[in-house]
Amino acid sequence: MKLHGLVGGRTEVCGPETTLRDAADAMLGAGVGSIAVIDGPRLTGILTERDLLRAAADGADPTDELVRDWMTVDPDVTSPESEVRDAAKWMLEIGYRHLPVMEDNELLGIVSIKDLLWVLLSDND
């Protein structure tokens, strides 16, 4: 199975000037572990649960601190034509839990390691 089968719905996004609290609220409301950071039409970063944890451990005030100061800048991305197994292997090797899927400079979605595990485990049933 290719990643295009896992993306294409609504992806949570925010701008780099969004506060950590607002980004965390959006993630919590959507039940996701990451949010894409968009500046104009361009993906400029990704904010994940790990980034929020790092900010909290550093004593950041979530009502004042901005996403741009804590996000992963210019994250690696993958194609919707990538195979689920290949994406899972790459994410495991690098240590990613969330990976943006893009085509022609357009964000199609973000896959999580959990998404990929569901597919891989269901293929074996």
For the four alpha carbons of 27, 114, 71 and 110, in that order, the dihedral sign comes to negative
pLDDT for 10: 81
More confident residue, 9 or 97: 97
Q: What is the pTM of this model?
A: 0.91
pLDDT value, residue 59: 97
Q: Residue 6's pLDDT is what?
A: 87
> Which tokens sit at 120?
């891989």
CATH 3.10.580.10 fits domain 3-123: yes
Tell me the pLDDT band of 123, cut-offs 50, 70 and 90.
low
What does the pLDDT read at residue 68?
98
* DSSP string computed for 41-67: TEEEEEEEHHHHHHHHHTT--TTT-BG
Domain boundaries of the chain, sorted by first residue = 3-123
pLDDT one-digit tens code per residue, 15-73:
999 999 999 999 999 999 999 999 988 999 999 999 999 999 999 999 999 999 999 99
